[in-house]
């Protein structure tokens, strides 16, 4: 997987968000996936995941505990069941894509699964470029665009990311195309 710069107006993509239990990137405890086709949200998936260790460091951030996931499937069981949402998409989008890309890569490696081949697009970078926001964390971008958000709830974060992508494509498509006039050659006289 490689972070890239696909077009925000792409035909189809999936926005993805992970919550992790501890400092290990293999500790996904929740995933949210939102599929977008031609600017419309067409599918949402949310799954709790049993991480490889029962110690939870980030409950105070996302509210998920070991008791919530102890009976859920491990990543190796959950991912193959839900990965079909990625079929045919051009890229994956995430807010702070390096984090989610690494979580996906390390969870796939630990589960001995192949990671998806699609590149990642980072909506932090996209928001800074499109709206010239100094702060581009998810709550700030959502407030700027009027997007509802329950921050650190995987499906809400993924949907917010999808809506940022849709809004950016709208801005891109609304920008006037600049046409450069041909320069008239100067007379040598």
Give the separation between CA 31 and CA 28, rounded to whole angstroms.
Answer: 7
- Scanning 23-153, the segments in alpha helix (DSSP H) are 59-62, 66-69, 75-82, 97-111, 123-131, 138-145
148/146 Cα distance (integer angstroms): 7
Domains, the chain, with CATH or none: 12-172 (3.30.420.10)
Reduce the DSSP state of residue 133 to 3 states and report it.
coil
Split at pLDDT 50, 70, 90, the class of 188 is: very low
Encode pLDDT of 22-55 as tens digits: 999 999 999 999 999 999 999 999 999 999 999 9
Examine the pLDDT at 80 and tell me if it is beyond 70. yes
Q: How confident is the model at residue 11 (pLDDT cuts 50, 70, 90)?
A: confident
């Amino acid at each position: 997987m490689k972070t890239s710069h696909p077009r925000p107006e792409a035909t189809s993509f999936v926005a993805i968000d992970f919550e992790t239990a501890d400092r290990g990137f293999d500790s996904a405890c929740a995933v949210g996936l939102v599929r977008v086709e031609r600017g419309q949200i067409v599918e949402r998936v949310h799954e709790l995941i049993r991480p490889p260790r029962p110690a939870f460091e980030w409950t105070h951030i996302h509210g998920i505990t070991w008791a919530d996931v102890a009976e859920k499937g491990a990543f190796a069981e959950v991912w193959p069941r839900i990965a079909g949402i990625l079929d045919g998409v051009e890229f994956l989008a995430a807010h702070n894509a390096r984090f989610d890309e690494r979580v996906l890569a390390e969870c796939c490696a630990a589960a001995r699964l192949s990671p998806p081949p699609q590149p990642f697009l980072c909506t932090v970078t996209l928001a800074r470029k499109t709206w010239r926001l100094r702060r581009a964390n998810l709550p700030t971008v959502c407030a700027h665009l009027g997007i509802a958000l329950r921050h650190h709830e995987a499906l809400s974060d993924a949907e917010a990311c999808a809506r940022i992508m849709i809004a950016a494509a709208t801005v891109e498509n609304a920008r006037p195309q600049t046409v450069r006039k041909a320069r008239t050659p100067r007379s040598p006289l």
